[in-house]
Amino acid sequence: MHSVTHSANILATAFAAGRFDPEELVQRGSQVVASRGRWLRPLAVRLAEAFAGKIHPRKSTIVAFLVADAGFCRAYHNDRVQIANLLGPIPEMIPTATAANWQGCLALPTPHDVSRWLNLAPGELDWFADRRRMAHAQSNPKLQHYRYRLLQKRPGEYRLIEAPKPRLKAIQRRILSDILNHVPPHEAAHGFRRGRSITSFAAPHVGKQVVLKMDLQDFFPSTRAAQIQSIFRFLGYPDTVADLLTGLCTTSAPQDIWPTAAPRPAQPTQRQMRRYAEPHLPQGAPTSPVLANLCAYRMDLRFSGLASTVNASYTRYADDMAFSGNQDFARVCQRFSTQAAAIAIDEGYTVHFRKTRIMKQGACQRVAGMVINRRLNISRKDYDRLKAVLTNCARHGPDSQNHDAHNDFRSHLEGRVSFVEQINPERGRRLRALLERIDWSK
């Protein structure tokens, strides 16, 4: 005799395997019970009504519903719920109405399909997905899936780079190409998107009377595994598959990596280390930028709606957010920034208040390192500094200017010159000419 919870668990497995249509629920429920009692159809109707218009519920949510349902419990105690089949039907892909319109997302209804797709044995798949978060307690670097490096941005602020090892990185690239690249982010998102760049991020704010710039702190580690799991379930993947894909795209940083990752006397705070200890998006994984954009979709939607109420424009590049407008926006900008911060916090992010700026047209308006008062441009100060570095490299050799010990100083300078060329081609040509004069053999 199964307990009421165990019986509910088996029935929930059958119910979760397909759509929440009463007839389909009755059909799937009939596959696991010995006989279709009169209690099954009313239960199916109540289930369908309870979750109508919502994302497909998790199995645990269905179990909770069944255990609390008076009709199901009454049928169980009257010995009408007789479980005959413990396996239940094969799960289906159940995308939401929106996701069903997107073309190209790979169908993976079962963990076995995931194993075949990735050419991994089931045990290997479980090891890489690490759903029980065993790697968090793993002290042997050879058994960890990531390599760790801590970067100090400024005193007291750190960024942990979590780079997946080759096999996991190859798996994540397949998830990116076969699944995530087929899902469109919000139109306001300009980072990590083909055809978008920092120039497209800044362009809508050129020549505006007031520009509000805000920054999110710890953008990637603030994106939690539960959010990632919701993305995959939104696309229609059953719970078990969504959990596997989430495990492959998230990580929990082991506590003992900090002395190795941060050999300096300064260490991250306990709050920062706790944030990285929770399952999160690793900064360094190929899937993380796209998933971060998708998880920020609702925040982008709310920001766009808020901006439209005061005739303002809104764009986001990763963790940098920009709002701009003219008279209507200028009158309420201070209050608007408070409302925007409240939305970000409500969505689970932390606002870097020290980086919040309200920039009026009479002063220098800068977004993503570009001046946007009248047109996109690089600031004169930044241009002169880079010009001086290139000139000194040409005169005294590049080693004399590599003060930050860049491993590939040539590529570093190439990137900075290309950035200027993208924004101001005329200034970029002058800097390019200086770059070509450098003798890299010195």
pLDDT tens per residue, range 34-70 = 887 889 999 999 999 999 878 888 899 999 999 999 9
DSSP state of 19: -
Q: pTM, whole model, 2 decimals? A: 0.86
Burial 346-356 (b: 16+ CB within 10 A, else e): ebebbbbeeeb
User: What is the pLDDT, as a whole number, of residue 54?
Assistant: 81
Q: How far apart are CA 53 and CA 292, in angstroms?
A: 25
Start and end residues for every CATH 3.30.70 domain found in the chain:
185-216+295-375
pLDDT (mean) for 183-196: 92
- Mean pLDDT, the chain, whole residue set: 89
Question: Residue 104: which region, alpha, beta or left (left: phi > 0; alpha: psi -120 to 50)?
Answer: left
Nearest CA-CA partner of 266 in 277, 258, 274:
258
Nearest CA-CA partner of 183 in 286, 292, 294:
294
Contacts of 260 (CB under 8 A, 6+ apart): 141, 148
Give the Cβ contact number of residue 23 at 10 Å.
Answer: 12
The answer on pLDDT for 442 being more than 90 is: no
Q: How far apart are CA 411 and CA 420, in angstroms?
A: 14
Give the H or E element holding residue 381. helix 380-396
Give the H or E element holding residue 14. helix 4-16
Inter-CA distances, 93 with 9, 38, 164, 241, 330, Å: 20, 29, 29, 10, 48
User: What is the pLDDT, as a whole number, of residue 105?
Assistant: 78
pLDDT band at 406; cut points 50, 70, 90: confident
In DSSP notation, 73-142 reads HHHHHTT---B--SS-PPP-----TTGGGSS-PPP--SHHHHHHHHT--HHHHHHHH-TT-GGGG---GG
**Alpha helices, DSSP H, located in 179-296:** 198-202, 225-234, 239-249, 258-261, 270-277, 288-295
Weakest mean pLDDT among 4-13, 127-136, 358-367: 127-136
Q: What are 51's two structure tokens?
A: 């979750």
The answer on pLDDT for 7 being more than 60 is: yes
Top pLDDT among 131 and 318 is at 318
pLDDT band at 142; cut points 50, 70, 90: confident
Share of the chain above pLDDT 90, in %: 58
The answer on pLDDT for 265 being more than 70 is: no
User: What is the pLDDT, as a whole number, of residue 255?
Assistant: 77
Predicted confidence (pLDDT) per residue in 200-229, tens digit = 999 999 999 999 999 998 899 999 999 999
The class level of CATH for 185-216+295-375 reads alpha beta
Contacts of 139 (CB under 8 A, 6+ apart): 254, 256
The answer on pLDDT for 256 being more than 80 is: no
User: What is the pLDDT, as a whole number, of residue 264?
Assistant: 55
Burial tier of 40 (Cβ tally within 10 Å: 0-12, 13-18, 19+): buried
User: What is the pLDDT, as a whole number, of residue 267?
Assistant: 63
Nearest CA-CA partner of 314 in 332, 296, 327, 302:
302
Q: How far apart are CA 178 and CA 170, in angstroms?
A: 12
pLDDT band at 275; cut points 50, 70, 90: confident
Helix (H, G, I), strand (E, B) or coil at 359: strand
DSSP state of 321: E
DSSP state of 399: G
Contacts of 370 (CB under 8 A, 6+ apart): 198, 199, 202, 376, 377, 378, 423
User: What is the pLDDT, as a whole number, of residue 113?
Assistant: 94
